[in-house]
A and B are shown apart, each in its own frame.
Chain A
Amino acid sequence: MPERRRIQVEALARVEGEGGMNVVVRDGQVEDVKLRIYEPPRFFEAFLRGRSHTEAPDITARICGICPVAYQMSAVHAVEAALGIRVDGPLRMLRRLLYCGEWIESHVLHVYMLHLPDFLGYEDAIRLARDQREVVERGLRLKKAGNSLVTAVAGREIHPINVRVGGFYRAPRKRDLRALRDELAWARDAALETVRLVAGLDFPDFVCDHEFVALQHPDEYPFCDGEIVSTGGMRIAASAFEEHFEEMHVEHSNALHARIRGRGRYFVGPQARYNLNFERLSSVARQAAGEAGLGAECRNPFQSIVVRAIETLQVCDEALHIVEEYEEPDAPFVEHEVRAGWGAACTEAPRGLLYHAYEIDDEGSITSARIVPPTSQNQATIEDDLHRFVQQHVTLGDEELTWKCEQAIRNYDPCISCATHFLKLEVERR
């Protein structure tokens, strides 16, 4: 008699947004895996049309409450490309500092509150805190350091108000940034402790062969500048994104699936950045990676938690340097003249490459907008990982297999709110 098992989780927890997963197993063979994204669509590209180019950073921030800075950064860089202006010097460093704050806040939220409980067998961080309060307290304080940084540069943690085309509405005061120095020095130590904590976790033996895609800058770990490069030999300008990547609309998802034209699935995010930019990490981050047993390449998605911790250390270190050297700029923004044009930009959101493109008319109104968030780029890759992971662990009981599948999805820190324009877990065994 053919074996038919069905495992179902109504709504995936500890991810941002709403989605589910279907796995069909027949006679011990995985037949199909679908990541179902039922987060309701919100149509941002549509209602950006007819709005002023100056509104793009505030409107697109509302796509995601976890990574609004990423949306603001991709938006302003794309609009500035259309207008032909370039923001450099201290304003560029302030943008890096702001992005450091968001990476700390987002990565630490994921490492301590969303991902770590899986490895330690807890259902959430609050239950984990009953046994290991000092660990969770360290995570919360570290997360707060990231949020304080975003607030100091741009007014508030969620949907910051100080980002504008050309720079900032007002430059942060030197004394306000200098005041963060002690806490950032603590945060850098706490981030190193975090690397040591997560390096000691038990990782399943699981390796992926995905093509990694990330920005690469000649000498910096990437935020807003650089070429799009891949482990498959791609090297293109951000403005050529649409020539090399395409989005597919599939029935089981309200988020478009992205793929490399002519090749297929690919992977963006912290591991992609790390694998393509290892030499550009600071010496303190590279040394911590070595102590954690990670080489220049990491292909086990479960070890993404270690990579996130290393990146947290990287940006705490960079933020501390920027804060120590900060001098208030002469003007908070670069003036610009309105002109018709098209511009595109990619920046590195905490979850990976985030593409924005805008067409602007001669009055400065947006006539078309295109946004490709990291999670929609990773959907096919997550499905591929799950397919192989379930096959390797098909002998596990339903309850344990379900939790392992959730953990495999959380490896990617999926942001479903972003992607929809995503999770319910359902494993069906026939």
Chain B
Amino acid sequence: MAAPEQRVRPKVAVWKFASCDGCQLRLLDCEDELLPISDTIEIAHFLEASRATVEGPYDLSLVEGSITTPHDAERIREVRACSRKLVTIGACATAGGIQSLKNFGRVEEFVRAVYASPEYIDTLATSTPISAHVQVDFELQGCPIDKAQLLHVVLAFANGREPDLPRHSVCVECKQAGHVCVMVSQGTPCLGPVTQAGCGALCPGWSRGCYGCFGPMESPRPAALGATLAALGADERDRRRLFSTFYANAPAFREHGRGARDRQVSDPAGDED
């Protein structure tokens, strides 16, 4: 067996912005691959896993989370400056995440709804994807991202290849898996026709409609799907809610979800002491 120490391993860093930690946890969820992969790449900066950090520059930075504070808007520029390649992982980093719902309400009301002393909170009016701030080399979709796709992307960059992941819809995977269409057979609203593959058509396999957690596919037709959903009996509020969850701020979904959010935070002082 070759001594791995003799090779120069690419230096990989993991960074967190506003997020739930789930996408970086995917790395630690690679229970079978974690120890072997650490012979191939050097995990140089990964705070969730290690108190030891190696100085940059880094060959590959994996960025989780969206930009929601002035400090983070500055920090992402520093991350970009010390990274040869920068890959965003997950819905927050690539589209702003569920927290981008605040882009459509008045942010002061959101702060007041949660915190008794709003003056202590330093937050921007918007939650924005990493690409709104710095150049991004690849965007890995999912809320959360898929483990196999993550390994594919990390190994591609470690070996100087471009990642090759499908941009077609969940419907393709659903047919490949042999699931019965939940829209056709049960009349269940499903975002599968406009959502990017990668989950393996998970929800239809569990008798529920896709809720779009891998974001818009390449060239989606959300308006056409909206008409089909209406014909199935989904009212306007239900349709807007469907488009306005974990990829609410993605350009292809944004307009189709707007009304679901305009109604929110009508009583900002409701639960304050």
User: How distant is A383 from chain B, measured CB to nearest CB, in Å?
Assistant: 17
Q: Which of A39, A43, A137 contacts B35 (CB 8 A)?
A: A137
Q: Is the CB of A158 within 8 A of B207?
A: no
Q: Is the CB of A256 within 8 A of B115?
A: yes
Q: Is the CB of B32 within 8 A of A144?
A: yes
Residues of B with C-beta under 8 A to A156: 144, 199, 202
Q: Is the CB of A155 within 8 A of B202?
A: yes
Residues of B with C-beta under 8 A to A421: 114
User: How distant is A354 from chain B, measured CB to nearest CB, in Å?
Assistant: 14
Cβ of B105 under 8 Å from chain A: yes
State A68–B20 Cα separation when bound (angstroms).
Answer: 9
| A interface residues, how many (CB within 8 angstroms) | 74
Q: Is the CB of B16 within 8 A of A14?
A: no
Q: Which of B21, B38, B110, B241 contacts A16 (CB 8 A)?
A: B21
Residues of A with C-beta under 8 A to B268: 46
Cβ of B271 under 8 Å from chain A: yes
Cβ of A159 under 8 Å from chain B: yes
State A84–B49 Cα separation when bound (angstroms).
Answer: 43
Binds B, one of A121-129, A222-230, A296-304: A121-129
Cβ of A29 under 8 Å from chain B: no
| Interface 1/0 per residue, A137-167 and B, CB below 8 Å | 1001101100100000001111101101000
Apart from A13-B49, A13-B50, A169-B207: 12 A-B pairs, beta carbons within 8 A: A47-B98, A49-B265, A51-B241, A51-B264, A65-B24, A68-B20, A68-B22, A124-B52, A158-B29, A249-B116, A254-B121, A368-B267
| B interface residues, how many (CB within 8 angstroms) | 74
Q: Is the CB of B202 within 8 A of A157?
A: no
Q: Is the CB of B48 within 8 A of A157?
A: no
Instruction: Report which B residues bind A (CB closer than 8 A).
Output: 16-26, 28-29, 31-32, 34-35, 38, 43, 47-53, 68-69, 71-72, 97-99, 101-102, 105, 109-111, 113-117, 120-121, 123, 127, 143-144, 199, 202-203, 205-208, 211, 213, 238, 241, 245-246, 260-261, 263-268, 270-271, 273
Binds B, one of A54-62, A200-208, A318-326: A54-62
State A51–B98 Cα separation when bound (angstroms).
Answer: 13
| Interface 1/0 per residue, A68-106 and B, CB below 8 Å | 100000000000000000000000000000000000000
Q: Which of B19, B53, B265 contacts A46 (CB 8 A)?
A: B265
